[in-house]
Amino acid sequence: MSNSIAQAYKSTSRLGESPDIGWLLSGIRGLQTYARKAIRALRDNDIPTRLDATARAADLLVFLQNITASDSGAELGQRLIVVYTNLHIQLVNANSGMSESLYRDFLEQCSELEALFISLQEHERS
């Protein structure tokens, strides 16, 4: 995804308004998919696939950061930037340590974030 698309989306994006949460939820689900793929590749000692899945997850995290509103009025957005940064650090540590447990920790954090986004989405609909 190009940076110009991310910038265009960010310029109109505010968490709590549609369609932000749906976009973010899709992104988190993508991260989970890449983490599962990296875990399988790690078990199979498939280094190219593990590296590809990890790189794609890292790119997706950057994209999510770019589309998240983080100006002074977007408190949740500012917090999400911190969460995405921490997820990126976890991902790098899992990859460099070739650690299934660290990938699983990353996956668990993504699952918790997914649950938060689902909750926000349900609240938005009510």
Element of type H or E holding 44:
none
Whether the pLDDT of residue 23 is over 80: the answer is no
Q: How many CB atoms lie within 10 A of CB 78?
A: 15
Q: Is 14 helix (H, G, I), strand (E, B) or coil?
A: coil
pLDDT band at residue 13 using 50, 70 and 90 as cut-offs: low
Whether the pLDDT of residue 121 is over 50: the answer is yes
* pLDDT of the residue at 78: 83
What number is the average pLDDT over the span 5-11?
Answer: 46
To 10 degrees, the CA torsion angle through 105, 120, 69, 22?
Answer: 80
What letter does residue 110 receive in the DSSP assignment? H
Task: Burial-class residue 13 by CB neighbours within 10 Å (0-12, 13-18, 19+).
Answer: buried
Cα-Cα-Cα-Cα dihedral sign, residues 5, 72, 80, 84: positive
- The pLDDT tens digits for 52-91 are 999 999 999 998 888 777 777 777 778 888 999 999 999 9
CATH of 17-125, one of 2.70.180.20, 2.40.30.10, 1.20.120.340, 3.30.160.110: 1.20.120.340
* pLDDT of the residue at 125: 76
Task: Burial-class residue 55 by CB neighbours within 10 Å (0-12, 13-18, 19+).
Answer: middle
